[in-house]
Amino acid sequence: MRIAIILGTRPEIVKMSPVIRSCLARSVDFSIIHTGQHYSYEMDRIFFFELKLPDAAYNLEVGSGTHAAQTARMLTGLEQILLEDPHDVVLVQGDTNTVLAGALVAAKLGVPLGHVEAGLRSYDRSMPEEINRVVADHLSDLLFAPTETAASNLRKEGRPDPAIFVTGNTVVDAVFQNLSLAAGDETIFSRLGIEKGGYILVTAHRQENVDRRENLAGILKGIEHVANYFGVPVLYPIHPRTRKMVERFNLRVPDNLHLIEPLGYFDFLLLEASAQLVLTDSGGVQEECCILKTPCVTMRKNTERPETVAAGGNILAGTDPEAILSAARAMVLRPRTWENPFGDGRSGDRIVRHLQKKFA
């Protein structure tokens, strides 16, 4: 059995790392194909190095662009690779344009396709990610659903039950495996001049938030309210594109919001684990906070991770400033006793064992 593991963003590298480690442990033949969707492969090599993963066998270096242009470059490159270097099964993870392209190429070439983190739904088609994950799920032969909720979504859409396999979420494996690696260097706290538990962490990058002046202004005002109320440092590792949109919309950055450069994965994971509170619009951060028992407020009106809300580790606030403050106050008061809904940390190995059973 040969597995083509297609990825293109840093979250995909993180969430596929447990699958890659299981392949190595089980001597399963695989190739990593990196599309370069968010960054060049050269910029991502530090992630492979830190996570102790083998280098990608192929990199497409597609770079940024419109959804159509980016996906088209991926389709061309992935098709050529899989024709010249046949594999028995293709694995994709999540909901990016890389997932969409990988799914389309595998389906067109008749190569069995496995979707890791299948069945997530926000039911908001204005999100490009929702379209990507729905298409991937309906092209996949193997649907690795992280939870029973995700599996139920797939069944409601008519996906056959024998194709659905509830594995837990590889993010649990990744958080615990990688947090132990990150603990070897905790200098991020001294470098930023903060103490564990004495700060609030912010991430906001979603297109529907960053590209809309009203939403981005609401988020910044909400962060200001939260910073004033709690009186602790608020750290925002801001992406260059988000910074550009703040300037384009001529928005004021609150004085008590500390904009810092984007962080490496290990540094971010350490900050996440020790934060008093996290404000985010990221799906992956919602999951990680729930696992780490860090209170989380999601600055969106919906989420494809409803398990985090049901467990009690997350509140949806939208982008209204008063709603963000209200949710932050409520979340911090909650006891951190919720249960992790995403599995036991053995999802990567469960996926690889299932593939071995199917294709060996």
- Write the CATH number for 243: 3.40.50.2000
Identify whether residues 112 and 195 lie together within a single domain: no
What was the pLDDT predicted at 47?
86
Q: Are residues 163 and 208 in the same domain?
A: no
Kindly report, residue by residue over 4-52, the tens digit of the pLDDT. Answer: 999 999 999 999 999 999 999 999 999 999 999 876 677 688 889 889 9
Is 222 within a domain?
yes
Let me know whether 211 and 329 are in one domain: yes
92 in a structural domain: yes
Query: Is 247 within a domain?
Result: yes
3-state helix/strand/coil string of the chain: CEEEEEECCHHHHHHHHHHHHHHHHCCCEEEEEECCCCCCHHHHHHHHHHCCCCCCCEECCCCCCCHHHHHHHHHHHHHHHHHHCCCCEEEEECCCHHHHHHHHHHHHHCCCEEEECCCCCCCCCCCHHHHHHHHHHHHCCEEEECCHHHHHHHHHCCCCHHHEEECCCHHHHHHHHHHHHHCCCCCHHHHHCCCCCCCEEECCCCHHHHCCHHHHHHHHHHHHHHHHHHCCCEEEECCHHHHHHHHHCCCCCCCCEEEECCCCHHHHHHHHHHCCEEEECCHHHHHHHHHHCCCEEECCCCCCCHHHHHHCCEEECCCCHHHHHHHHHHHHHCCCCCCCCCCCCCHHHHHHHHHHHHHC
Q: Does 119 share its domain with 202?
A: no
For the chain, 360 residues long, give each residue's pLDDT as a single digit of tens.
999 999 999 999 999 999 999 999 999 999 999 999 876 677 688 889 889 999 999 999 998 888 999 999 999 999 999 999 999 999 999 999 999 999 999 999 999 999 999 999 999 998 899 999 999 999 999 999 999 999 999 999 999 999 999 999 999 999 999 999 999 899 999 999 999 999 999 999 888 899 999 999 999 999 999 999 999 999 999 988 899 999 999 999 999 999 999 888 899 999 999 999 999 999 999 999 999 999 999 999 999 999 999 999 999 999 999 999 999 999 999 999 999 999 999 999 999 999 999 987
Q: Are 201 and 154 contained in the same domain? A: no
Q: Does residue 239 share a domain with residue 105?
A: no
Q: Is residue 177 part of a domain?
A: no
| pLDDT score at 35 | 96
pLDDT of residue 360: 75
**Number of domain units in the chain:** 2
In a domain, 178, yes or no: no
Q: Is 66 part of a structural domain of the chain?
A: yes
Residue 30 CA, distance from chain mean position: 22
* 205 flagged as catalytic: yes
83 with 192, same domain: the answer is no
pLDDT at residue 40, rounded to an integer: 67
Does any domain span residue 176?
Answer: no
Q: Tell whether 106 and 222 lie within a shared domain.
A: no
Same domain, 138 and 273: no
CB 272 within 8 A of CB 292: yes
Angstrom distance (rounded) from CA 280 to CA 290: 13
For the chain, give the longest Cα–Cα distance: 59
Same domain for 129 and 48: yes
The whole domain housing 239 covers 186-333
Same domain, 143 and 279: no
Q: Are residues 148 and 234 in the same domain?
A: no
Which residue is catalytic, options 115, 138, 205, 354? 205
Residue 338 within any structural domain of the chain: no
**Pairing assessment for the beta strands 113-116 and 89-93 based on DSSP bridges:** parallel
